[in-house]
Amino acid sequence: MKSKDQNRMAVSPQCVVALTWTLKDTLGEVLDELDEPVEFLVGGTDLLAKIEDALQGHEAGDLIDLHLEPIDAFGDYDDRLLFLEPRDRFPEQLEEGMGFEGLPPGCNPSAPRDRLYFVSDIYPDHVVLDGNHPLAGIAIRIHIKVHAVREATMDEIGEGSLGAGFFRTQLDVDDPSSTPPVPPTLH
């Protein structure tokens, strides 16, 4: 009979890991807190590469503390991803912080269509959209707790993601060659 510890699975490429975390800036201000475990696909697009690397070999119950510079976290802030667009292209109900998958029709045709854009400012005639991750340019400290590790199904591996989009600002598009190349901000 195997002991309970022998049945524990360690994090390895293409497994599913359930995590909680506290994400802080370098001054200790909490930027995000995930209280309930969420599953992420290791070896897909759900997690940052440095987080995946740090998770390797860990098991349920393990705690990990990481310091990530912007290049390893959400990228450097890129002012080329700021766009001033006509206010009338957006819904009547618009708030700062709202996100859009790509820009609405009639907006800047040179703006990459494969990004999430966040409303950063609203003026009477214009809206400022930001294609950077909200934490771009910030060094972060992340305290992670591993709650569970399991094998990924073939379907999950085929999808490349469990749908957790916290670490992504780029979208999957049908024809990525139709948009101008933009340096990735996350990977």
Q: For the chain, what are the domain ranges?
A: 4-75+137-168, 79-130
Whole-model pTM: value is 0.74
Give the per-residue pLDDT at 7.
58
For residue range 22-62, list pLDDT tens digits in order.
999 999 999 999 999 999 999 988 899 999 999 999 999 99
3-state helix/strand/coil string of the chain? CCCHHHHCCCCCCCEEEEEEEEEEECCCCEEEEEEEEEEEECCCCCCCHHHHHHHCCCCCCCEEEEEECHHHCCCCCCHHHEEEEEHHHCCCCCCCCCEEECCCCCCCCCCCCCEEEEEEEECCCEEEEECCCCCCCCCEEEEEEEEEEEECCHHHHHHCCCCCCCCCCECCCCCHHHCCCCCCCCC
Give the per-residue pLDDT at 21.
95
Give the per-residue pLDDT at 168.
55
**Domain 4-75+137-168 grouped into CATH 2.60.40.420:** no
Give the per-residue pLDDT at 173.
43
Q: Do residues 97 and 119 lie in contact, with contact meaning Cβ atoms separated by under 8 Å?
A: yes
Query: One digit per residue, pLDDT tens: the chain, 187 residues?
Result: 444 454 589 999 989 999 999 999 999 999 999 999 999 999 988 899 999 999 999 999 999 999 999 999 999 999 999 999 999 999 889 999 998 888 888 888 888 888 889 999 999 999 999 999 889 999 999 999 999 999 999 999 988 888 765 665 555 444 443 333 333 332 2
Give the per-residue pLDDT at 126.
95
Domain 79-130 adopts which CATH fold? Thrombin, subunit H (2.40.10)
